[in-house]
Structure 1
Amino acid sequence: MIRKLVCAVAAGVAAAALWSMPASAAPLLQLSGAIFTTDVSGAPVNLNHYAAKEDVYLNGGPGINAPDDAAGLPAGIYAFQVTDPSGKTLLSTDPVACRRVEVDASGRFVSVAPSGACAHATGTDAEDDGITVQLFPYLDTPNNGGEYKVWLTPYAALDSSAPGNRHGFVPSDSKTDNFKVRARAIVEIDTRFSRHGGPFIDGLAAEWTDTLGAHNVKYSEYNPAVLAFHEAHVEAAEAGLHKITVTDQAGCEIDDVHHAGQTFLPDANGSVTVPVLVKKHMNGDHTYWVDVHCV
């Protein structure tokens, strides 16, 4: 059954507040796959910093530089939104019904047809022939650092009555990624994998949990064109407590993990979660390193 709900939105977008959602949303298992922002062709942009809001497109799948057997997003219909980094201010200005995208069995974006006549503009991903989805229209962020957060959630899981939800998007059911427009500060959380004394290892996964409890997965890569030098990048990280989780995987049995002068050891399941406290930065380049040593 579908019911109509009126949810509070940012000042100036009250007309977009009427939207339809499932009457109840069952808790989901954590979504596989990843989301990321790119240009219209699916190419990553340096440090997730864009010159204009119209330049930012949403993409999804296994993740940039993921191994061939990495899982993509589960097939289904998803909704997306743009907020400030805290998630408190909704910046998307159209109804959520206009912000729907379909994911097929390959785990990639394939259509915005579920949104009907008000669907967002799309491009074609030059790498996997899926689509990219323009995030615009959305308002300027109130964040002084020019920072934005994009969310993706299964449409059936939207629930504006759930504790901690942000405009119907429940963090535990959501993928998020951050980006900046016309920003002055560069703030990253970079995870590197290596064997003690050996070279860095690419194609390994680091799971990021943001300050709200939403999550995404990043893969270590070497791509100087986007300033990636064997790191799994979390770009445009907002101030607050983040978590990076790494787990034993093909190519890396974890020995230990280092961050901010501390050493973290894997648990019985071969997993390590590292808290990363990001400070508020208005200018300059700031990188928070997480170093994973494999055996």
Structure 2
Amino acid sequence: MNTKFAIPCAIVIASAGLLGSPAAAAPPSTISGAIFTSDVSGVPVNLNIYEAKEDVYLNGGPGINAPDGAAGLPDGTYSFQVTDPSGKVLLSTDAVVCRQFTVVGGVIEDVVDVGGCEHATGADGEDGGATVQLFPYNNTPNNGGVYKVWVSPTNLLDCSAPGNKQCFVPRYSKVDNYKVRSDIIVEIDVRFWKNGVAMDGYAAEWTDTNGASNIKFSEWNPSVLAFHEAHFEATEEGRHSIKVSDQPGCDITAVELPDGSYGKLRGNTSTVSFDVAPAGPGADVTYFVDVSCR
């Protein structure tokens, strides 16, 4: 493990707000890049369903099947937390100072050395970076076994910001949902179509019920049940949004919502919003968003 950022635990344990001290420069409007969860090896797990809480690792970057040039997180130091899907219940049990890592070249370089409470890591065989174990954290109160991991630049944590979740500000956070010991499937799948053919490697941005976001890419990967789709798994009850924009090889002509209606195009971008209903016992529900390209 690298030891570049030694910070005494007591400094931040005494005041979580210290991690969120305002940066000297004006903060960005949002954070670019993406995150996802995987096992220790960096391999995505089928439908984000894990056998045990200890099996879940954080992975930086846009994912194994993202197109060349897709952006990971910007370089810097980040903090993470695990909550229930609403973000209201903090499940991480250690101090936030223990939950930090660095990103270099768009991939996770290492955890921050804080004197022994930092999290375990693994080696990502796909991008050469590190994976970071999310454990320890408590069981989720969610009946569907859903957890939400948050990642935010450490210097943008702000315990006084409106709508913050344990000092994590949604607009500055990347999130991903996952499940432990639950096979209930509630997901949003975005498909990109051109001349009747589903296309891979196209980005869709999801904004969750808290206003936090993440980016996934359409892919053909049957091992994780991705069939030319950008997968957003374990989505919670409430209002969600999907944003798509023109990309090379796809000039958007229409965006169809799950209910069959169509979203508005504003220039080369469309943002559609819809409600995810409560998951019934044993119910598998997929909300499709279909993007037509020319």
Q: TM-score, normalised by structure 2?
A: 0.91
| Correspondence 1:61-80 to 2 at 5 A | 61-80=61-80
Letter in 2 for 1:278: V
In 2, Cα distance between the equivalents of 1:194 and 1:114? 46
Q: Residues 264 and 111 (structure 1 numbering): CA distance in 2 closer, same or farther, change over 3 Å?
A: same
Identity over aligned pairs, percent: 59
Is the contact made by 1:64 and 1:219 (CA closer than 8 Å) also made in structure 2? Answer: no
Is the contact made by 2:253 and 2:293 (CA closer than 8 Å) also made in structure 1? Answer: yes
Is the contact made by 1:72 and 1:108 (CA closer than 8 Å) also made in structure 2? Answer: yes
In 2, Cα distance between the equivalents of 1:224 and 1:276? 27
Structure 1 unaligned spans of 5+: 8-15
In 1, Cα distance between the equivalents of 2:43 and 2:249? 26
| Aligned residue number for residue 226 of structure 1 | 224
Structure 2 unaligned spans of 5+: 1-6
Residue 262 of structure 1 aligns to a residue whose secondary structure is coil
- Residue 83 of structure 1 deviates from its aligned partner by 0.2
Is the contact made by 1:37 and 1:58 (CA closer than 8 Å) also made in structure 2? Answer: yes
Residue 54 of structure 2 aligns to a residue whose secondary structure is helix
Is the contact made by 2:243 and 2:271 (CA closer than 8 Å) also made in structure 1? Answer: yes
Is the contact made by 2:203 and 2:218 (CA closer than 8 Å) also made in structure 1? Answer: yes
In 2, Cα distance between the equivalents of 1:241 and 1:114? 38
- Residue 29 of structure 1 deviates from its aligned partner by 2.8
| Correspondence 1:25-104 to 2 at 5 A | 26-104=26-104
In 1, Cα distance between the equivalents of 2:266 and 2:21? 39
- Residue 44 of structure 1 deviates from its aligned partner by 0.4
In 1, Cα distance between the equivalents of 2:64 and 2:277? 27
1:91-146 residue CA offsets vs partner (Å, 9 max, x unmatched): 00000000000000x11101113444111001111111100000000000011110
Letter in 1 for 2:19: M
| Correspondence 1:1-295 to 2 at 5 A | 18-19=15-16, 20-24=18-22, 26-104=26-104, 106-196=105-195, 198-259=196-257, 260-268=259-267, 270-282=268-280, 283-295=282-294
- Residue 247 of structure 1 deviates from its aligned partner by 0.2
In 2, Cα distance between the equivalents of 1:162 and 1:114? 27
Letter in 1 for 2:254: D
In 2, Cα distance between the equivalents of 1:77 and 1:116? 17
Q: Residues 86 and 251 (structure 1 numbering): CA distance in 2 closer, same or farther, change over 3 Å?
A: same
- Residue 17 of structure 1 deviates from its aligned partner by 7.6
Q: Residues 262 and 119 (structure 1 numbering): CA distance in 2 closer, same or farther, change over 3 Å?
A: same
Q: Would you say how many aligned residue pairs link Structure 1 and Structure 2?
A: 282
Letter in 1 for 2:162: P
In 1, Cα distance between the equivalents of 2:116 and 2:250? 47
Q: Residues 121 and 185 (structure 1 numbering): CA distance in 2 closer, same or farther, change over 3 Å?
A: same
- Residue 6 of structure 1 deviates from its aligned partner by 11
In 1, Cα distance between the equivalents of 2:150 and 2:43? 19
Please report the RMSD computed on the Cα atoms of aligned residues, expressed in angstroms: 2.0
Q: TM-score, normalised by structure 1?
A: 0.91
In 2, Cα distance between the equivalents of 1:217 and 1:194? 18
In 1, Cα distance between the equivalents of 2:68 and 2:114? 31
In 2, Cα distance between the equivalents of 1:219 and 1:246? 11
Is the contact made by 2:108 and 2:129 (CA closer than 8 Å) also made in structure 1? Answer: yes
Larger strand percent = 1
Q: Residues 214 and 17 (structure 1 numbering): CA distance in 2 closer, same or farther, change over 3 Å?
A: farther
Q: Residues 52 and 34 (structure 1 numbering): CA distance in 2 closer, same or farther, change over 3 Å?
A: same
In 1, Cα distance between the equivalents of 2:184 and 2:14? 33
In 2, Cα distance between the equivalents of 1:64 and 1:126? 10
Q: Residues 173 and 232 (structure 1 numbering): CA distance in 2 closer, same or farther, change over 3 Å?
A: same
